[in-house]
Amino acid sequence: MIPFNYLGFVFKHFGSYIYPKKVLEELCIFLQPLRDEASVLDVGAGTGMMSEFAHRCNSKLRYVAVDPAKGMLKYSEKYIEKHIATAEALPFDDDSFDAVLMGESLHHFDDPGIAMKEIVRVLKKNGKLFIYDFDKGTFMGKSLWAMEKLLGEPAHFYELHALKKMLEEHGFTVHVSRHKWRYSVSAGL
């Protein structure tokens, strides 16, 4: 397994460089309809990079991060409320969040199906989901999948049609954007 608990410094200082500008623009568009003080959950947050990007778009939202690696969360910004937990067992009440973000985290979940049930549970009615991850349907995506498998990671990388189907089965309407060997998803309940 990748020792994420010890990689917080690296991800905090170098992680932002792998996010394409277009994805950040899409994130801002995704957040625009949210009212001030709306609650946003960053699942598999790591150092809170997605929350930082979202905060640049709208600093009036309430940002909450959840990750199993305390060593990652300790590098997240002060304005982010932090919780140590997995995506499969979110420590929040039903209908707690207006939006959920997942930046390069879905493929690390032990059980994406259970994680999606949890995300639906904690999202409010008409809640929104934004995902940024690697497309297994590309050469680079397959290469990353193989590398993470070798490192003992769950490596739940999706081809876009399979991810879209899974999200629709959980009640989401889905819009997918391709970014070479990566993708972003804007989905709503």
Per-residue pLDDT tens digits for 89-116: 999 999 999 999 999 999 999 999 999 9
pLDDT in tens, 62-79: 999 999 999 999 999 999
pLDDT in tens, 113-157: 999 999 999 999 999 999 999 999 999 999 999 999 999 999 999
Q: Binning pLDDT at 50, 70 and 90, where does residue 6 land?
A: confident
Contact (CB, 8 A) for 174 and 187: yes
Q: What is the pLDDT of residue 123?
A: 98
Tokens representing 140 are 């680079």
Tell whether the model's pLDDT for residue 17 goes beyond 80.
no
Q: What is the pLDDT of residue 15?
A: 78
| Main-chain phi, psi angles of 56, to 5 degrees | -65, -30
Domains, the chain, ordered by start:
4-188 (3.40.50.150)
Q: How many helices (H) and strands (E) does the chain have?
A: 7, 7
**Closest by CA position to 122, among listed 97, 89, 141, 155:** 97
Prediction pTM value: 0.95
Q: Output DSSP code: residue 46.
A: T
Q: Is 124 exposed, middle or buried (0-12, 13-18, 19+ CB in 10 A)?
A: middle
Q: At what angle do helices 49-57 and 21-31 cross, to 10 degrees?
A: 60
CA 40 to chain centre: 11
Q: What is the pLDDT of residue 109?
A: 97
What is the Cα–Cα distance from 115 to 46, expressed in whole angstroms?
Answer: 16
Average pLDDT over residues 33-45: 97
Tell whether the model's pLDDT for residue 20 goes beyond 90.
no
Contact (CB, 8 A) for 44 and 105: yes
Tokens representing 51 are 């929350």
pLDDT in tens, 146-189: 999 999 999 999 999 999 999 999 999 999 999 999 999 999 99
What is the Cα–Cα distance from 76 to 82, expressed in whole angstroms?
Answer: 8
Q: Binning pLDDT at 50, 70 and 90, where does residue 14 land?
A: confident
